[in-house]
A = this chain, B = another copy of it.
């Protein structure tokens, strides 16, 4: 039983079915009727006018967002453990043509206004130093922590005060919304977010993520960048259909709630072993090498996280009965 990544999970049946439904002749690229519905559908979801673009991966969504917010000679403040900083092989640098990621710190990969100020305040305002142009935060964070709307808004206020753009890497945005029970608007544009990488693939999609611009004018040049990056699928309707299927009947929220619930079960079993509070679908727990080996011997797969920690990720399709054996195994450690 695999708990090492929500990327390993299969695709959700309605998403797969949607591919069949759009399997008819239509206009190429993003001119088809499904791609054309995205702006409207996501504007509805967010309660404001947005531009919504499908892209193939979260890395592409993040990088396009940063390229829209930061010039080549600028910098983007992010957490030192942010996915964009350590797990995207320099994609932000590629898309921004060499902008610099300015790394800050904070427990659980979470930034705060103070942590951001600690990065940007020492930067001299002269041409010798890379000037900050944007901030990027991950919601939920790489350690499964969730920013409250107020926490995002505090960062948003700082961004506004300093004239910085604000990007949210929402690879697990759905899990964060499910955890908070808030409206998607509350922790995005209402809190100062300019661009959101809205993840669907980890949550049951196949190969389409949504890049959302709350400042619609940012989308214009991004359309060129998307093409220039070789990301403009010629049969875009199969990407749009995935996103629409995930939004239909709030499937995205249902899937995220299921994954979060599974993680909660593991968290309860883990008790004192938890490294971070469990607020999304990731569980980090302290285990000795022997304990980790023991769990693996029972058939559980997961990542070691540094020394003495294990990362367990619950996917949208892992129902309580699928998780119960691991719950028991953790309890029995």
User: Could you tell me which A residues sit within 8 Å of B by CB distance?
Assistant: 2, 5, 7-11, 16, 19-20, 23-29, 55-64, 71-73, 75, 86-91, 93-101, 127-131, 201-202, 206-207, 221, 223-235, 238-239, 315
Given contacts A57-B232, A238-B206, contact A224 B89 (CB under 8 A): yes
Q: Is the CB of A127 within 8 A of B94?
A: no
In the complex, which of the residues A130, A230, A238 has the most CB atoms of chain B within 10 Å of its own CB atom? A230
> Could you list 13 further interchain pairs (A-B, Cβ under 8 angstroms) beyond the known A10-B23, A88-B128, A207-B235?
A9-B25, A11-B23, A11-B235, A11-B238, A16-B19, A56-B56, A73-B89, A73-B225, A89-B228, A94-B228, A100-B101, A131-B224, A202-B234
B residues within 8 A CB of A99?
90, 93
Q: Give which listed residue, B73, B93, B100, B231, contacts A56 with CB less than 8 A.
A: B231
Alpha-carbon separation in the docked complex, A127 to B28 (Å): 13
Q: Is the CB of A224 within 8 A of B94?
A: no
Q: Is the CB of B25 within 8 A of A227?
A: no
Q: Is the CB of A226 within 8 A of B127?
A: yes
16 A–B contacts from the bound complex (CB under 8 Å) = A8-B28, A9-B25, A10-B25, A25-B315, A58-B234, A63-B230, A72-B97, A73-B228, A91-B227, A93-B100, A94-B228, A128-B227, A206-B238, A207-B233, A207-B235, A229-B230
Alpha-carbon separation in the docked complex, A204 to B227 (Å): 21
Alpha-carbon separation in the docked complex, A307 to B197 (Å): 40
Q: Give which listed residue, B62, B72, B91, contacts A94 with CB less than 8 A.
A: B72
Minimum CB–CB distance for A288 against chain B, Å: 20
